[in-house]
Amino acid sequence: MARNTVRPVVTLRSTAGTGVTYVTRKNRLNDPDRLVLRKYDPVAGEHVAFREKR
* pLDDT tens, position by position, 12-48: 999 999 999 999 999 999 999 999 999 999 999 999 9
Q: How far apart are CA 53 and CA 17, in angstroms?
A: 13
Q: How far apart are CA 13 and CA 16, in angstroms?
A: 9
- What pTM, to 2 d.p., does this model score? 0.86
E-strand stretches of 1-54: 9-14, 21-25, 36-41, 46-53
- Closest to 49 (Cα-Cα) out of 25, 28, 18, 27: 18
Question: Where does the pLDDT of residue 2 fall: very low under 50, low under 70, confident under 90, or very high at 90 and above?
Answer: low
